[in-house]
């Protein structure tokens, strides 16, 4: 969590955090395991107060690991109501 907090303190968003991008070390002399973040290819520095996700520019990340709330945002950054996604069920 320290690494992710550090990135966020610099206004950097990883945008592809998933189990495959977390590396674990062998236990050290005290039996501790270190977790390290890897694969910074999709990292983005963002201006204060902005989000990195925009449907206009595509959604970065790995399919299957993208947060549902990101997929439910419209270009105006307003959440899509569930009934808009499934009009045939209303």
- The β-bridge relationship of strands 35-37 and 12-13 is unpaired
Catalytic center residues: 16
* More confident site: 46 or 18: 18
Q: How confident is the model at residue 64 (pLDDT cuts 50, 70, 90)?
A: low
Span 28-54, pLDDT tens digits: 999 999 999 999 998 888 877 766 555
Q: Which pLDDT value is given to residue 75?
A: 58
- State the CATH number of the domain containing residue 71: 1.10.510.10
Lowest mean pLDDT among 15-24, 35-44, 63-72: 63-72
Q: Residue 84: its pLDDT value, please? A: 46
- The number of folded domains in the chain is 1
The domain in which residue 50 lies consists of 2-89
């Amino acid at each position: 969590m320290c690494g992710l907090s550090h990135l966020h303190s610099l206004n950097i968003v990883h945008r592809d955090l998933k189990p495959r991008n977390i590396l674990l070390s062998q236990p050290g002399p005290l039996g501790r395991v270190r977790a390290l973040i890897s694969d910074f290819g999709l990292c983005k520095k963002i201006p204060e107060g902005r989000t990195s996700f925009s449907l206009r520019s595509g959604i970065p990340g790995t399919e299957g690991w993208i947060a549902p709330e990101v997929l439910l945002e419209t270009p105006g950054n307003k959440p899509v109501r569930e009934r808009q996604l499934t009009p045939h069920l209303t």
